Amino acid sequence: AQSVSQHNHHVILSEAASLELGCNYSYGGTVNLFWYVQYPGQHLQLLLKYFSGDPLVKGIKGFEAEFIKSKFSFNLRKPSVQWSDTAEYFCAVTKGQGNLIFGKGTKLSVKP
Amino acid sequence: EAQVTQNPRYLITVTGKKLTVTCSQNMNHEYMSWYRQDPGLGLRQIYYSMNVEVTDKGDVPEGYKVSRKEKRNFPLILESPSPNQTSLYFCASSSAVGNQPQHFGDGTRLSIL
């Protein structure tokens, strides 16, 4: 079945540590890729998106993600996390005009 | 301000008592969708609508109904709620399906006793 996999269920980091959250998808062909963030008690907000062009995309709050087509991956990175980055992060994919399919999410806890 | 508005934000009710969660967007978006969010399962799509009078099932449609009589509104109806529908629900909209990001409402936490 076509799916989106996020490898880590819960990641705990100290402030200033570097972050990488994995995301793999199983769709072939052209895809649109998204990372959403959900801060505690809030709704999902778009962090960044990739449709085409430069595979390294920059989003808000210092986040970036790299699309590696050969690996079917779209990993999220941040060089130095802050306590305010504590949230749940969702990778999502659409294929063509298809619906958005979400991964199960990764909770990030940043210790001050 | 561009937004997706859901009501109510919280609801505790009993099995079998029909309820409706409203969703309204002010961005003239054609595409709207409902998701439920459960711990460890992420967001799963319940129903979606590509435009007025056009709705279709998502991944978990059982026990739910929707309607899209107007472009801005997309209510979610639970005709006979059951405890397994206790969840956090999100409505979302976008200008198109596929390559446009979705805008999410603040969520509705439903508890069915």
B78 is written with which tokens? 């639970």
User: In the prediction, which pLDDT does A1 show?
Assistant: 60
B91 is written with which tokens? 């409505």
User: In the prediction, which pLDDT does A96 show?
Assistant: 72
Contact call for residues B111 and B17 (beta carbons, < 8 A) = no
Q: Is residue A27's pLDDT more than 90?
A: no
* Lookup result for tokens 């997309």: B74
Q: Is residue A64's pLDDT more than 70?
A: yes
Average pLDDT over residues A102-106: 94
pLDDT means over runs of 10, chain B (113 residues) = 93 96 96 93 93 93 97 97 97 86 93 96
Q: Do B98 and A96 touch (CB under 8 A)?
A: yes
Chain B residues in contact with A9 by the CB 8 A cut-off are: 40
Alpha carbons within 13 angstroms on the beta-carbon side of residue B107 total 17
Residue of A nearest to B48 (CA): A99
Residues near B95 by beta carbon (within 8 Å), at least 6 away in sequence: B27, B28, B29, B30, B31
